Amino acid sequence: MKASKKATMMVAASALLAASAWTIGAFADDRQGDSATAAPVSGADAQLVERGRYLATVADCAACHTAKNGKPFAGGLGIESPIGRIYSTNITPDKSSGIGKFSYDDFDRAVRHGIARDGSTLYPAMPYASYAKVKPSDMQALYAYFMHGVQPIERANKATDIPWPLSMRWPLRFWRMAFAPEVATDDPPVSNDPVARGRYLVEGLAHCGACHTPRGWGLQEKALSDDGKTYLSGGVIDNFLAKNLRGDQKDGLGTWTQDEIFAFLKSGRTKHSAAFGGMSEVVENSMQHVNDADLTAIAAYLKTLTSVNPSAAVLTANASATDKLRAGTDRSNGALTFVDNCAACHRTSGSGYESTFPRIALSSTVNSNDPTSLIHIVLMGGEMPWTKTGPTHYGMPGFAKRLTDRDIADVLTFVRTSWGNQAPPVSAEQVAKVRKSVGAASQPKRPENN
């Protein structure tokens, strides 16, 4: 093969890969509650617009299309990819800078097929592979809402920061052809089965798999619907593990009841756990506004997912770590670091305080093989989401400046092997890697790490 042709193909291949490797970053924003409408509508149309508003909340379109401190849906939020930043677009009905001139078909092509109005392919940072599952009648409602329920804002779209030739969009077409699923042309038959409703929401509008499903060689989600093993079995996004949601007892939702899943999605916490990282925003901006019937359906569907690893050990509580901590007989760096920095909130028993400080004994988060989330939260701290049903807002401080990579590795290894927890140790190298990628402060200087 001629060198130039080979080079072109390599560029194409790397653009293809890199452009699909986005991180859904920095969603925290001060969304403004503007509800002024573009063109008022009445009667049946108004109902359609309201339904579209609800569906847009389930789909969390604002998470990406509203910039920090920006006007609702006016775009401009930067989404990182390894080759440069991609900006979300203005999807308000403004005729010049937004989607005001989009016909229903233009809108449908963008949202479900990933094809822009000019025929080019959208970056899969726009989760059209999930939205492909949205039924046509819901698409009509979404379109009605975006045309008539959203205030038009004039705000020009920003080109990506991706340099040429990686910025060429044509390789994306191959990604789309390889990985985007079929789009439904008709609504499915009406059903009253909550599990079917839950599946529809989880796979489609709510795009849970965009974070919770592991990705393959092209950074595509390995499964877009339940395949009995990989779907929703855990993926890393933005330096957090969006953990396994399948039926595994140890690291999935096997020990959670349907009511606990419901409570978690609605309020961002259960008696024992709390949402953090990207999930905090999913709860705050989307799930807490979902109606009870739909949340029940989502929880019911999640409870149908079988475990990935049915032979994993079932965890049982063990008090020996608690006893040693109380007696002061465990003098290891991990135990001492825990007592000094963590026990005030999570307690020497690891049981935390109900609905205030999450339990870390026998927690599926703590027992996940991949420790990324744990390292991240210890370095940077976390804040529970603000919700109507869980208005108290507790936080955990970050320890980046106070603890070395070794200390964090030791304390997490201690946590992951105490009270009945059974997860692999954490190394200082793993901590150093996350410290770098989240941009945390450098570790404190101590004589022993020179």
Which residues in the 301-320 window bind ligand HEC by CB under 6 A?
none
Only one of the segments 9-17, 177-185, 394-402, 431-439 lies at the binding site for ligand HEC (rule: CB under 6 A); that segment is: 394-402
Binding mask 400-419 for ligand HEC (x = CB under 6 A): -----------x---x----
Q: Does 200 bind ligand HEC (CB under 6 A)?
A: no
Q: Does 380 bind ligand HEC (CB under 6 A)?
A: no
Nearer Cβ to ligand HEC (6/304): 304
Q: Does 74 bind ligand HEC (CB under 6 A)?
A: no
51 with 207: CB under 8 angstroms?
no
Q: How far apart are CA 10 and CA 29, in angstroms?
A: 37
Structure tokens at 36: 């002024």
Nearer Cβ to ligand HEC (202/300): 202
The DSSP call for residue 219 is S
Among 26, 184, 339, 377, binds ligand HEC (CB under 6 A): 377
Q: Does 421 bind ligand HEC (CB under 6 A)?
A: no
Only one of the segments 41-49, 189-197, 391-399, 417-425 lies at the binding site for ligand HEC (rule: CB under 6 A); that segment is: 391-399
Nearer Cβ to ligand HEC (11/100): 100
211 is in an annotated binding site: yes
Q: In the range 215-274, which residues lie near ligand HEC by CB under 6 A?
A: 237, 240, 242-243, 245, 261, 264, 273-274
Nearer Cβ to ligand HEC (89/249): 89
Among 48, 49, 64, 67, binds ligand HEC (CB under 6 A): 64
Q: How far apart are CA 415 and CA 425, in angstroms?
A: 9
**3 state SS of 153:** coil
Nearer Cβ to ligand HEC (132/415): 415
Q: How far apart are CA 195 and CA 300, in angstroms?
A: 6
CA 400 and chain centroid, separation: 23
Q: In the range 332-351, which residues lie near ligand HEC by CB under 6 A?
A: 341-342, 344-346
The DSSP call for residue 337 is H
DSSP 29-78: ---------SS---HHHHHHHHHHHHHHHHHTHHHHHB-TTPPTT-B--E
Q: How far apart are CA 18 and CA 165, in angstroms?
A: 13
Residue 376: name the closest of 408, 413, 411, 349 by CA.
Answer: 408
- Whose structure tokens read 């819901």? 138
Q: In the range 75-94, which residues lie near ligand HEC by CB under 6 A?
A: 79, 86, 88-89, 91
Q: Does 440 bind ligand HEC (CB under 6 A)?
A: no
**3 state SS of 395:** strand
